[in-house]
Amino acid sequence: MNKIFAVANQKGGVGKTTTSVNLAASLAAAGRKILLIDMDPQGNATMGSGLDKNSLEYSVYHVLTRTTQGHSAIFRELQAGYSLMPANGDLVAAEVELVSVIGREMRLRQALETLRPQYDAILIDCAPSLSLLTINALVAADSVIIPMQCEYFALEGLAALKDTIDQVAQTVNPGLHISGILRTMFDPRNSLSTDISAELQQHFPKELYETIIPRNVRLAEAPAHGKPALYYDKTSRGALAYLALAAEIIRRQNSASVQLA
């Protein structure tokens, strides 16, 4: 694989961090060496991976401001099987400190140049905004995974995010594209959900993942225990769905590699 995925959507509460943490764990369970980068000042992916965000010596903030190198900010061999570059509230200051720096949108990409060969895939959990932090993630990434709920306002947000991805691709990262759109917190009993899902299938047939993440209480409970759902309740529908997503992503990457060959 050796790919960098930004998990992004400027709308909050759509399952970005849930997807980042559980997909990282599922890919690791499939034998892949994974690095998860928390690019959200809330530090939810950090806490959901079992680390205390308030007791970090180094974080992604120090990497972006070049206080330390990337490898010094990585926690390796976590219980969930992946490595983590954590974040906390310090990350808010990075945007202020970098505001007048030339090439500020390239900081994460440059930091990952030496780290990339060490991993089969790198996942970047983005903040719920189109900020400098998210732009850094999009510039560093090969492709974007877009988690979204099947609701009306999510479609509007998808259009705005797609415009941003296109702008980044046209200016600083020509290879950037949408890896897939992931339907999250899906309830088939809700007619609006099924209607929006049908619209997505019509307008984004190639980008839409076949895997659908259901609304599942175990997925909601797992972060409070500092674990991905796979290590909280491996038989839950949520855990099984993310294992299926990991398998689908691996199949897509293998298929793309065969076509290029």
pLDDT of residue 190: 84
pLDDT of residue 257: 66
Identify the bridge partners of residue 124 per DSSP, sorted by sequence position. 6, 37
Q: What is the pTM of this model?
A: 0.95
- CA–CA gap between residue 124 and residue 87 (Å, rounded): 11
Q: Summarize pLDDT for 70-124 with one digit per residue, the tens.
A: 999 999 978 899 999 999 999 999 989 998 999 999 999 999 999 999 999 999 9
CATH code: domain of residue 208:
3.40.50.300
State which amino acid sits at residue 209: Y
pLDDT of residue 5: 98
Query: What is the domain count for the chain?
Result: 1
- CA–CA gap between residue 151 and residue 19 (Å, rounded): 18
State which amino acid sits at residue 7: V
Domain of residue 129 covers 3-260
Which residues in the chain come in under a pLDDT of 50? 261
DSSP string, the chain: --EEEEE--SSSSSSHHHHHHHHHHHHHHTT--EEEEEE-TT-HHHHHTT--GGG-SS-HHHHHTTSS-GGGGPBPS-TTSSEEE---TTHHHHHHHTTT-TTGGGHHHHHHTTTGGG-SEEEEEE-SS-SHHHHHHHHH-SEEEEEEESSHHHHHHHHHHHHHHHHHHHHT-TT-EEEEEEEEEE-TT-HHHHHHHHHHHHH-TTTEEEEEEEP-HHHHHGGGGTS-HHHH-TTSHHHHHHHHHHHHHHHHHHHHHHHH-
Are the beta carbons of 246 and 3 closer than 8 angstroms?
no
Neighbour-count burial of 90, counting CB atoms closer than 10 A to its CB (0-12 exposed, 13-18 middle, 19+ buried): middle
- CA–CA gap between residue 182 and residue 239 (Å, rounded): 15
Q: In what order do the strands lie in the sheet with 121-126?
A: 83-85, 34-39, 121-126, 3-7, 143-149, 177-186, 208-214
pLDDT of residue 43: 97
Are the beta carbons of 118 and 88 closer than 8 angstroms?
no
